[in-house]
Structure 1
Amino acid sequence: MGLIASGVAMVLLYDCLVEANTSNYRTVPWSDDGIDGSEILNQSLPPLAIDSSRLYFNRIPKAASTSMLNILHALSAKNNFTHKSSSVYNMRILTSEQQNELAASVVESEAPVTFDRHVHFVNFNSLGFDSPIFINMVRDPVERIISDYYYRRSVARKHIDSYAVTPSKFWLEKSLEECIRRSDDECQYMTGYLQVGHMVPYFCGHHQKCMVVNDEWALEQAKKNIERYYDVVGLVEMLAETIAVLEKRLPQFFSGASEILTRIGPHNVNLEKPSVDAAARNELKQNLTNDMILYNFIRDRLLRQIAELE
């Protein structure tokens, strides 16, 4: 079920990402003109209120999300909860009204229940609802960008006849190194510019400032949300250890997860992904400063949780 849903998701998600020479990843400079800075920079977080009978996995693309989804599906019957996968795959950023609709649908569902969706963090408390337990998975930021870049092309090649506009041969065959050399939007992560492809917004939220590359406020907001609302944020590079932490901390949902992981193994691996040279990797690493800081912050937090298992 998870693999079929994932395949359909990819077709829908990437249906509008193909053009002559690039994708719809657009970089534009951000300006706070006309925005109340005090509202952005000094916003107070609401009192913490968590509903432990509901769990939300706002999954990040190319970060073991399919493996985690399959584990949740497999465990739902065993641990007597319902898992609900969103049928919306290409809407990561929500208006205030859409956030309210999402939150209401979660709190109105019969518990115990778990949810997954590719979406930026939604602060249920600020909307007047108890928050579900949030979880997520992250991956080395450079490796995730590389994987996502080539996975979009792999999906486009497999479903090329389904597109209203046929992907160009140039776009399909363009290497990441060439994309970086040309400064194409889909592989540019420029400080102070809006970009949809990086990791921080998944934990920061829906304010436009969350999407600004290497913005200090966005990074700190992401850290605060992780500490307050995310019981576990795991690492792809430490998947087995992450699952062990989830079993220990959230047994109502993840009891038996290690056994399931051993049985099903990793999913959605792109065998067509080529190697990427060191220069391209280094440039991505230098540009993804805040993603790297957040990744290490999450890694240190997970290591502390692993130590608590002993």
Structure 2
Amino acid sequence: MKSLKLGNPVYALTVCLWLTMGYLAWNLGYEVGQSSVNRGRAYDGRSVQDHPKIAENDSDRNSKNDESKTEHFPRPCEQNRVSSTNLKEIVIFGSVPKCGGRTLLSLMFALSQPNDLTVKSALNYSLENGSEIAPRQYITRMIQPFTKAGFLYTNARFVQADTVQSTALLRIGLIRDPMQRLVSSFYHRRFGDRLTAKTVDDATWERHLKAKSVDINEIFDDCVKNKMSECVAEYTKGTLVKQFCGYHSDCKTASPAALLRAKNNVRNNYLVVGILEEIDDFVRVLEKIRPSLFQGAFDKLENDERIQSVIKNSRTVGIQSVSELTKGIIKKHLAIDYEFYYFIQWRFLKQKEECGV
């Protein structure tokens, strides 16, 4: 076989082809790598691929039970910003206990006059369990009297309301670190907060707690160490997941099916779900997406004395620090809520980037 020499045209053509193919392979690899990094930047600066919990490439991506088959990324901010023409928009906020609901409600009351909104609080604790028929009817009944755009604050889980004429329903949500939420709830049952101060003497209050099998002197570390049901029972799992899963039979327990349904409900039905640890950014995103409803929200959050008072006084009294051992136990116990929390954290990061927040 003849060797290819420098002056040989076949040699020149071969070299050109190899150089071109090498450049294309390098460039493609670089662009794919950059795209992966840009898509996957996590809340702490690490990429999603490097983060042990936030990775969007989770096990349910190719699950046969994934009914939605929708995109895993939030819609661009500009698409969310388009309001429903000729329809009054009502925002439904399903509050999770100890996740900043009262702060958001006070903010919406402050916005009701300047933004011409109807704001209603509709709490019904009989809706926490059972089928979706009663909650759906209840939510529908609550929004029917709205004659203009507004905000409905409720403790009901996710449920599709019946169609109401000339009305577009928007859903938003707010959650927090699952362990911090559980710890806050634990001490709130004992000491309350400055908004819901005890109205009875200490002896009466302690009898009330004793009747509910609550030891006022117990700390969270001991509750976990002694495996008390208040801290480690099955019913303490999945609080976040169940709220967004709804009333389907899958949602009765903290199961993978409930987690998947909760994620799909967020993807398909929620304008935005934020995290309490970044409530400032949550409010900024709301302003970007729906200025007609939330214009001036961030300024109110920062500067309105009544809202600042709610933020200050709604904090649980008497919270004590939690040991590292307890943290490890509880994070394992609440693993399904943490998977949902990291999923929301990842999506919220993407929405902030889309909206320039």
TM-superposed deviation, 1:66:
1.3
User: Could you list the per-position Cα deviations for residues 129-171 of structure 1 after superposition, in whole angstroms to 9, with x for gaps in the alignment?
Assistant: 6772111111011111111111111139824567796222961
CA deviations 1:190-238 (Å, max 9, x no partner) are 4xxx55762111100013431312x111000000100111101111111
Query: How much is the aligned-residue C-alpha RMSD, in angstroms?
Result: 2.8
1:201 equivalent to 2:242? Answer yes
User: Hey, what's the Cα distance between the residues in 2 that align with 1:289 and 1:52?
Assistant: 39
Alignment-mate amino acid for residue 205 of structure 1:
G
Is the 8 Å Cα contact of residues 63 and 139 (structure 1) preserved in structure 2? Answer: yes
Taking the aligned partners of 2:197 and 2:90, their CA distance within structure 1 comes to 38
For 1:52 and 1:226, locate their aligned partners in 2 and report how far apart those are by CA, in whole Å: 22
The answer as to 2:343 corresponding to 1:297 is yes
In structure 2, how many angstroms separate the alpha carbons of the residues matched to 1:105 and 1:178? 45
SS at structure 2 position matched to 1:284: helix
Where does residue 246 of structure 1 map in the other structure?
286
Aligned: 1:103 with 2:139: yes
Of the three residues 219, 225, 244, the one matched with 1:181 is 225
CA distance in 2, matches of 1:257, 1:202: 25
1:119 to partner: Cα distance:
2.1
Please give the per-residue CA displacement for 1:98-128, whole angstroms capped at 9, x wherever unaligned: 123223214412231211112211122xx56
Aligned counterpart, 1:18:
none
Q: Determine which of 97, 111, 117 is the counterpart of 1:75.
A: 111
Matches of 1:197 and 1:296, distance apart in 2 = 14
Structure 1 match to 2:209: 167
Query: 2:228 is matched by which residue type in structure 1?
Result: D
Give the aligned partner of residue 318 of structure 2. 272
Alignment CA distance shift 1:174-1:61 (3 Å)? same
Shift of 1:182: 2.2
Q: Does 1:226 align with 2:226?
A: no
Matched letter for residue 258 of structure 2: A
Q: Call closer, same or farther: CA 1:170–1:195 in 2, change over 3 Å.
A: closer
Q: What pairs up with 1:249-260 in 2 under 5 angstroms?
A: 249-260=289-300
Pick one of 177, 180, 194 that aligns with 1:140. Answer: 177
Preserved CA contact (<8 Å) 1:200 1:211? no
Structure 1 residues 117 and 90: alpha-carbon distance in aligned structure 2, compared to 1, 3 A threshold: same
Aligned partner of 1:36 in structure 2 is none
Matched length: 260
- The one-letter amino acid of 2:288's match is K
**Identical-residue share of aligned pairs (%):** 26
TM-score by length of 2: 0.66
Which residue of structure 1 lines up, in the alignment, with residue 301 of structure 2?
261
Cα pair 2:237 2:337 within 8 Å, conserved: no
The CA deviation at 1:243 is 0.7
Q: Which moved more, 1:250-259 or 1:261-270?
A: 261-270
The aligned residue for residue 118 of structure 1 is 155
Residue identity in the other structure for 2:335: T
What amino acid does structure 1 have at the position aligned with 2:283?
I
Equivalent in the alignment of 1:14: none
Checking the alignment, whether the CA contact within 8 Å between 1:62 and 1:144 is kept in structure 2 is yes
1:147 match: secondary structure: helix
Query: Partners of 1:208 and 1:187 in 2: how far apart?
Result: 25
Normalising to structure 1: TM-score of the pair?
0.75
Q: Which has the larger displacement, 85-94 or 266-275?
A: 85-94
Q: Taking structure 1 as reference, are residues 242 and 96 closer, same or farther at Cα in structure 2, changes over 3 Å only? A: closer
